[in-house]
């Protein structure tokens, strides 16, 4: 596990908002610790150049051209500010400006082209034009990205990490990535399995014993640090969210997919719910 390279190519979409600056700070921390290459990307939405017909009927071509130029300049400024923040850490970055395209699709395309192994996005954007805000596309990026996605929802601190495990290969990858982050950040790690009693033949005690076996097996793969093991019974997404909130975890890590419903709980829908409603940052590992 320790010999493998993690987070070597990071993609950071930026929009100039204060939430975007949080993403940059977190990405810069990771880049420093993992000696990563960084690409910052700003996307000017396609609707700026191709607004709805009812809008074009009310606004002159010259005004629309002014708006296009304003958004382009704003994008260039966002990239320059991002480059300056990385430069303060003596980190070199590549800056890309994509004009008049779909933000989510462009982020996904650039991630593939750059062979990114981590995309750092925010849960919200500027909110000035909701459809354009970075946060409005974060969900799509999380769902369709081919690489790991970090959704930044808090500060830069990563001292307590909660990892949802279910015995699947995706959960194992989440553990591997989390361990590397924990070692770099000197963070504590809790492995959590949420057992369910949705099957008539499975008692609460039986479900908990299976959960304990899953967590114990996962812990045996972690050689680099000591982890806490925990099993709870209930609705997976709700339990994960409640524990992370009530016990002040800084990061939730989980796989993008899990085992099938007949075997365990960590389905894509759980990662979707956690990504959307968690109050701390979320790492969706692929």
pLDDT grade for 62, boundaries at 50, 70 and 90: confident
Q: Is residue 241 a contact partner of residue 277, using CB atoms and an 8 Å limit?
A: yes
Tokens of 282: 């979320």
Q: What's the rounded mean pLDDT across residues 67-71? A: 84
Given pLDDT bands bounded at 50, 70 and 90, which one contains residue 92? confident
User: The tokens of 59 are what?
Assistant: 């606004």
Q: How far is CA 141 from CA 120, 146, 148, 160, in A?
A: 10, 9, 10, 25
Angle between helices 268-277 and 236-246 (to 10 degrees): 30
> Which pLDDT does position 128 carry in this prediction?
41
Can you tell me the mean pLDDT for 115-128?
A: 76
Query: Would you put residue 16 in left (φ > 0), alpha (ψ -120 to 50) or beta?
Result: left
Residues 112-116: what's their mean pLDDT? 98
Residues contacting 220, CB < 8 A, separation 6+:
none
What pLDDT is attached to residue 201? 60
Structure tokens at 113: 């082209």
Q: Where are the domains of the chain?
A: 9-152, 160-285
Alpha helices in 118-168 (DSSP H): 134-144
**pLDDT at res. 66:** 81
- Tens digits of per-residue pLDDT, 159-202? 999 999 999 999 999 999 999 999 999 999 999 999 876 655 66
- Decide if 104 contacts 137 (C-beta within 8 A): yes
- 196 φ/ψ sector (left φ>0, alpha ψ -120 to 50, else beta): beta
| CB neighbours of residue 77 within 10 Å | 12
Reading phi first (left if > 0) and then psi (alpha if -120 to 50, else beta), residue 232 is in beta
The chain-wide mean pLDDT, for the chain, equals 86
Q: Find where tokens 């708006």 sit.
A: 67
For domain 9-152, give the fold.
Rossmann fold (3.40.50)
Is 80 exceeded by the pLDDT of residue 254?
A: yes
Q: How far is CA 281 from the centre of its chain?
A: 7
Residues 6+ apart with CB under 8 A from 28: 38, 85, 86, 89, 91
Per residue in 209-230, pLDDT tens? 999 999 999 999 898 899 999 9
Tokens of 62: 């010259």
User: Bridge partners of 284?
Assistant: 149, 254
Decide if 45 contacts 131 (C-beta within 8 A).
yes
Please state which architecture CATH assigns to domain 160-285.
3-Layer(aba) Sandwich (3.40)
Q: What percent of the chain has pLDDT over 70?
A: 83
Of 286, 23, 10, 259, give the one whose Cα is nearest residue 151.
23
Q: Count other C-beta atoms under 10 Å from residue 24's C-beta.
A: 24
How much is the average pLDDT of 51-60?
58
Q: Does 14 score more than 90 pLDDT?
A: yes
Predicted local confidence at residue 122, as pLDDT: 87
Alpha carbon distance 85, 101 (integer Å): 26
- Looking at per-residue pLDDT, the higher value among 24 and 65 belongs to 24
pLDDT band, residue 129 (cuts 50/70/90): very low
- Per-residue pLDDT, averaged over 14-34, amounts to 92
Average confidence (pLDDT) over 105-121: 97
Q: How confident is the model at residue 259 (pLDDT cuts 50, 70, 90)?
A: very low
Find the mean pLDDT for residues 31-58: 78
Question: What pLDDT does residue 197 have?
Answer: 61
Residue 58: the pLDDT is 61
DSSP string, 258-284: -S-TTT-S--HHHHHHHHHH-SSEEEE
């Amino acid at each position: 596990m320790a010999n493998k390279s993690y987070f070597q190519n990071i993609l950071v979409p930026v929009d100039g908002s204060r939430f975007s600056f949080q993403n940059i700070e977190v990405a810069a921390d990771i880049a420093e610790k993992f000696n990563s290459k960084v690409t910052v990307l700003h996307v000017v939405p396609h609707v700026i150049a191709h607004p709805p017909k009812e809008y074009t009927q009310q606004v002159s071509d010259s005004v629309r051209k002014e708006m296009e130029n304003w958004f382009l300049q704003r994008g260039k400024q966002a990239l320059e500010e991002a480059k300056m923040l990385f430069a303060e850490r003596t980190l070199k970055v590549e800056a890309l400006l994509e004009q008049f395209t779909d933000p989510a699709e462009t982020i996904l395309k650039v991630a593939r082209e750059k062979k990114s192994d981590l995309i750092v996005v925010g849960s919200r954007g500027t909110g000035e034009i909701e459809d354009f805000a970075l946060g409005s596309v974060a969900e799509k990026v999380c769902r369709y990205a081919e690489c790991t996605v970090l959704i930044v929802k808090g500060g830069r601190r990563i001292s307590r990490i909660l990892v949802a495990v279910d015995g699947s290969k995706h959960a194992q990858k989440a553990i591997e990535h989390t361990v590397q982050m924990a070692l770099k950040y000197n963070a504590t790690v809790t492995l959590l399995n949420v057992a369910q009693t949705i099957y008539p033949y499975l008692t609460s005690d039986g479900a908990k014993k299976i959960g304990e076996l899953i967590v114990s097996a996962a812990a045996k793969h972690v050689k680099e640090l000591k982890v806490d093991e925990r099993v709870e019974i209930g609705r997976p997404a709700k339990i994960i969210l409640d524990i992370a909130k009530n016990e002040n975890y800084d990061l939730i890590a989980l796989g993008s997919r899990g085992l099938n419903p007949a075997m365990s709980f960590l389905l894509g829908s759980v990662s979707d719910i956690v990504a959307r409603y968690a109050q701390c940052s979320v790492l969706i590992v692929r």
